[in-house]
Amino acid sequence: MSSPTSQTTIVPHSQKPLVTRVYPTESQLDDTIRKASDAQKSWSRVPLKERIAIGTKFMDEFKKLSDEIPLDLTLQMGRPVSQAPGEIRGFLERAKYMLSIAGSSLADVGLEDTDKPGFRRFIRRTPLGVVLVIAPWNFPYLVSINSVLPAIIAGNAVLLKPSPQTPLTAELFANALVKAGVPRDVIQVLHLSPELVTRAVQHPLVDFVSFTGSVGGGRAVEKAAVEASGFKGVALELGGKDPAYVRADADLDYTAAELVDGQYSSFLPNALSDVRTGAFFNSGQSCCAIERIYAHESVFDVLVAKVVAVVEKYKLGDPTKPETTLGPVVSLASAERIRKQVADAVKAGAKPLIDEKRFQTAETCDYLDPALAWTGVKNSGRGISLSKFGYDQLTRAKSVHMKIKTS
């Protein structure tokens, strides 16, 4: 069977095609990677202070898109348009922080205290070269900023491969970087088939791969990297199964809202929708979403009743309408998997508490303080993004030991 030559993004709530992108040929992909490698050499010579200034200008360019992004994002992956501004805020917060620590994180590490007479030693962070970033669809901006901007500020070139579900997010991201002053070949967007992804991962001019997605996808990326010639760096940020425990002394009104939606005031008009890790936010499609709950037996029945009450406040419908608070899952296949999980649970003895008629209109986290290291969490993955350590994995420590003339 021949490999696909293009991809088409399907709007989750209407199942209509939104946009099609044609894959490059193998030779076109190789040419793109060569351009990135050549451009990186010049970009790495741009003083760090100037790269940081360009990064700051990029934030201004991205802010200009605040009115355009919500609907585009909703059409691609189905999250209610009213909740998209939260991802924009989180994106800009992470960008601002990573820019603020770039100078100190990438500065030379002096060893004067232990230098011997006639010698000077220090450790310098040098860019790796070409970094391939493979981004997910569920939070395409909020996750890709973790690797893309630090890699570029550190002096690398980036090849950004978005999910086929959210291709426009990467294109918009890259265009804002170019408008801010990043050379066009230093940030390039790649739409690739699985076979071409493997080729890109194994390409000798690709020095590092940053992947965020499923455990299965992460294994495939790591396998491709291991089988490539040389020794290629890989960072994997993969899915998890987040539990919650409700103690006997918990505030149950607050707790129920947190478990379901991720923010106590989320149904109030001034809620900050970027701080959400609940089970239902983003239709449960978050690596930080609560997936199982343990409760002390003394509060179990009351907690269940309060959780049901919170869930019943959701309005499922067309995610492009501002009154909708719960959108569709990303695909029909995902919906079928969820229905089967529910059916299997009920068959095994679980008790359905939500009347399905409330959600018949359906036809078809994720927050992290950027000062904290986001590691390969939940025993799945490796590598670090965000925080000062995010720069460490995108640079190479070069030890310098110089003999100097003394009088």
* CA distances, 3 to each of 7, 24, 27, 166, 193 (Å): 11, 12, 15, 21, 8
| Residues 30, 126: Cα–Cα separation, whole Å | 24
Helix (H, G, I), strand (E, B) or coil at 162: coil
| Residues 307, 309: Cα–Cα separation, whole Å | 5
Vertex 203 angle, CA 46 and 47, to 5°: 5
The residue annotated as part of the active site, out of 87, 222, 237, 258, is: 237
* CA distances, 251 to each of 9, 265, 270, 302 (Å): 43, 14, 22, 11
Q: Which residue has the tokens 């690709």?
A: 206
- As a dihedral over the C-alpha atoms of residue 91, residue 16, residue 214, residue 32, rounded to 10 degrees, the angle is -70
Give burial (CB, 10 Å; 0-12/13-18/19+) of 108.
Answer: exposed
- 237 catalytic per annotation: yes
Closest CA to 40 of 386, 383, 388, 395: 395
Vertex 232 angle, CA 231 and 236, to 5°: 135
**Residues designated as active site:** 237
